[in-house]
Amino acid sequence: MPQTRFDLWPRAILHVDLDAFYASVEALDFPELKGKPLIVGGLPGGRGVVSTASYEARRFGVHSAMPSVTAARLCPNAVWRVPRMDRYLEKSREVRAVFERYTDLLEPLSLDEAFLDVTGSQRLFGPPETIGRRIQDEIQAETGLSASVGVAENKFLAKIASDLRKPRGFVVVPRDPAGLRALLDPLPVARLWGVGPKMAERLETLGVRTVGQLAVADRAFLGRRIGEEMTGHLLNLAHGRDDRPVDTGDRPKSIGRENTFVKDLRDREAMERELLGFADEVSARLRAKGLKAFGVTLKVRLGDFTTFTRAETFDEPTDLAEPLFAAGCRMLRSRVDCRGQGVRLLGLTATRLVTPGEWTPGLFRDEGAEKRRRAAEAVDRLRDRFGEDAVTRGRLLQDGEQTTGTPNDRLVE
């Protein structure tokens, strides 16, 4: 059941990072290793380095990227294993399958770490912390691995949070300014994205060692010492601001559909019927990808191959068929002069795509739109189960110049 008895977060990001990943997989597959100081990496005889160590081995000072020889000296009783990458990849896929139940908007950073944008998942699954807990529990139950989770309004804070109480950490970054400051202030500046050892040292000579000190530092003073750009970046982070989107890596720039007709269309009604079909399909694909469009373009090619493209911008981004269809019809009617010719090709494309996390102001405010969205989602589910033709609008079923389905049908992405 959808839950609504809580404040929806305008933006909700999770960062999930598995604990001592390679070592945990080894202990899972070879239970006799459980609870022992365990090091995964090149064996100490050679010139190898440590990939990772169990938390038991970390107590001796062993850490990733340390020469294995050094690790063996620090922790002489450690059990050693060489990495088995294909097994780790397999486990990583199992973890990803858990993520995918909650959102499509995920950005893997490595085999054991990912950002998830769950802004749009709240209606269905509840508040972000509930979603985070469920993911943590399901990873444990289904893959046998332990994960740490950070819940926040942006990527930077979520990543900081997941690391605060490892292993098996679960930290929700407070959304009130005092709570946020209490969490950020004590952190060393080296924890900030973009601050390497050199910059940390530089900042320290300027009297800035912690994020709290950075947050109250004088912008002009810092700007003169470390540059305006770096200063702007660091002050944003020090105030917990970060608007980078969760990058799925495969987000299309646009989603569209076009069709060249066997016989040029002359009848306005037939053209609009095509546009309605396109709008239906394009909006379903937007919803499937969790995207909304700020813009729509119409493409029209006349019998003599003259081609027009026309564009409109929406006040609020949409993933529904109606606005796309209405804009297409409007542009066709008032902004394209067919000069008495037939139309050889029509196309409708949703552009300027955004995720719910990037677009928040109007989110869920319009109840009517929310109802239409739910209806549209029900249609999507039917289509998934019974195929494309399961649900077709009345208008599309009319006979007449039914010209879709030619080999020229093209998906444009």
Catalytic residues: 113
* Beta carbon nearer to ligand TTP, 112 or 319: 112
In the structure encoding, which two tokens stand for residue 367, read together? 């109840």
Residues whose CB is less than 8 angstroms from the CB of residue 86 and which lie 6 or more positions away in sequence, other chains included: none
For residue 141, the partner it binds in ligand TTP, Mg ion, none, with Cβ less than 5 to 8 A by kind, is none
Which one of the spans 18-26, 264-272, 316-324, 352-360 is the region binding Mg ion (CB under 5 A)?
Answer: 18-26
Closest CA to 255 of 337, 196, 324: 324
* Beta carbon nearer to ligand TTP, 3 or 110: 110
For residue 161, the partner it binds in ligand TTP, Mg ion, none, with Cβ less than 5 to 8 A by kind, is none
- Per-residue contact string for residues 92-111; x = within reach of ligand TTP by CB under 6 A: ------------------x-
| Least distance (Å) between residue 147 CB and Mg ion | 8
* Beta carbon nearer to ligand TTP, 17 or 242: 17
Query: b/e string for 200-213 if b means 16 or more Cβ within 10 A?
Result: bebbeeeebebbbb
CA–CA dist 100, 324 (Å, integer)? 28
Asked if 204 and 215 touch (Cβ cutoff 8 Å), the reply is no
For residue 397, the partner it binds in Mg ion, ligand TTP, none, with Cβ less than 5 to 8 A by kind, is none
Distances (CA, A) of 265 to 286, 302, 359, 392: 27, 9, 38, 21
Contacting Mg ion (CB under 5 A), which of 13, 14, 15, 17? 17
For residue 153, the partner it binds in Mg ion, ligand TTP, none, with Cβ less than 5 to 8 A by kind, is none
Contacting ligand TTP (CB under 6 A), which of 8, 60, 64, 288? 64
Phi and psi dihedrals of 346, rounded to 5?
A: -130, 145
CA angle, 347 as apex, 341 and 351 as ends, to 5°?
Answer: 140
Q: How does DSSP classify residue 49?
A: B
| Least distance (Å) between residue 95 CB and Mg ion | 11
Contacting ligand TTP (CB under 6 A), which of 48, 167, 174, 342? 167
The one-letter code for the residue type at 378 is: A
CA–CA dist 246, 248 (Å, integer)? 6
| Least distance (Å) between residue 167 CB and ligand TTP | 6
* Beta carbon nearer to ligand TTP, 99 or 278: 99
CA–CA dist 84, 62 (Å, integer)? 20
Chain positions 6 to 25 lying near ligand TTP, rule: CB under 6 A, are: 17-22
* Beta carbon nearer to ligand TTP, 112 or 358: 112
CA angle, 388 as apex, 387 and 390 as ends, to 5°?
Answer: 70
Asked if 53 and 37 touch (Cβ cutoff 8 Å), the reply is yes
Neighbours of 196 (CB within 10 A): 9
For residue 65, the partner it binds in Mg ion, ligand TTP, none, with Cβ less than 5 to 8 A by kind, is ligand TTP
* Beta carbon nearer to ligand TTP, 168 or 224: 168
CA–CA dist 14, 261 (Å, integer)? 47
Determine if 281 is a binding residue for Mg ion (CB under 5 A).
Answer: no
Determine if 26 is a binding residue for Mg ion (CB under 5 A).
Answer: no
| Least distance (Å) between residue 196 CB and ligand TTP | 15
The H or E element spanning position 99 is helix 85-102
| Least distance (Å) between residue 398 CB and ligand TTP | 58
| Least distance (Å) between residue 54 CB and ligand TTP | 9
For residue 167, the partner it binds in ligand TTP, Mg ion, none, with Cβ less than 5 to 8 A by kind, is ligand TTP
Neighbours of 218 (CB within 10 A): 9
How many chain residues are in contact with ligand TTP, going by CB under 6 A? Answer: 15
The residue whose two tokens read 């739109």 is: 369
Contacting Mg ion (CB under 5 A), which of 112, 272, 281, 312? 112
CA–CA dist 119, 389 (Å, integer)? 31
Determine if 52 is a binding residue for ligand TTP (CB under 6 A).
Answer: yes
Q: How many residues appear in the chain?
A: 413
Binding site for ligand TTP (CB under 6 A): 17-22, 51-52, 64-65, 110, 112-113, 166-167
Binding site for Mg ion (CB under 5 A): 17-18, 21, 112
